[in-house]
Amino acid sequence: MHFRITPSKLRDARVTVPGDKSVSHRALMLGSVAEGRTEVSGFLNGEDCLATAAAMRSLGVEIRQTGATDVVIDGVGLHGLSAPPGDIDLGNSGTAMRLMAGLLSGQSFSSVLTGDASLNGRPMERIIKPLTAMGAAIESDCDGTPPLQISGGLKLRGIHYDLPVASAQVKSAILLAGLYASGTTSVTEPAVTRDHTERMLGSMGVNVATSGPRISLEGGQSLRGTRVNVPADLSSATFIILGSLLSQDADILIENVGVNPTRTGVIAILQAMGADITLANPRLLGKEPVADIRARSSKLRGGAVDPALVSLAIDEFPALFVAAAAAQGKTTFSGIGELRVKESDRISAMADGMRRLGIRVDETEDGAVVHGGRFRGGEVESFHDHRVAMSLAMAGTVADGEVIVRDVDNVDTSFPGFGDCMAGLGGEIEVLDAP
Rule CB under 6 A: which residues touch ligand S3P?
A: 22, 95, 167-169, 172, 193-194, 314-315, 338
Count of other CB atoms within 10 angstroms of residue 173: 29
Contact 181, 299 (CB under 8 A): no
User: Of 417, 412, 433, nearest to 92 (Cα)?
Assistant: 412
Q: Residue 281: exposed, middle, or buried by beta-carbon count in 10 A (0-12, 13-18, 19+)?
A: exposed
Q: CB of 368: closest distance to ligand S3P in angstroms?
A: 18
* Closest CB 315 distance from ligand S3P, rounded Å: 5
Closer to ligand S3P by CB, 151 or 334: give it. Answer: 334
Query: Closest CB to ligand S3P among 23 and 361?
Result: 23
User: Closest-CB residue for ligand S3P?
Assistant: 22
Q: Which residue from 255, 250, 251, 277 is spatially nearest to 266, judged by alpha carbons?
A: 277
Q: Is 148 left (phi over 0), alpha (psi -120 to 50) or beta?
A: beta
Work out how close the CB of 166 gets to ligand S3P at its nearest, in angstroms, rounded to a whole number.
Answer: 7
Q: Are 270 and 323 in contact (CB under 8 A)?
A: yes
Task: For strands 156-157 and 138-139, give the pairing.
Answer: unpaired
Nearer to ligand S3P, 116 or 292 (CB): 116
For residue 242, the minimal CB distance to ligand S3P (Å) is 17
Q: Which of 20, 48, 315, 407 is catalytic?
A: 315
When the beta carbons of 79 and 214 are compared against ligand S3P, the nearer one is 214
**What are the residues facing 332 on neighbouring strands?**
304, 369
In angstroms, what is the minimal distance from the CB of 317 to ligand S3P? 10
Please check whether residue 74 is in contact with residue 113, taking contact to mean a CB–CB distance below 8 angstroms: no
Decide if 306 is catalytic.
no
Residue with smaller CB distance to ligand S3P, 2 or 194? 194
Q: Which amino acid is at 85?
A: P
Could you list the active site residues?
A: 315
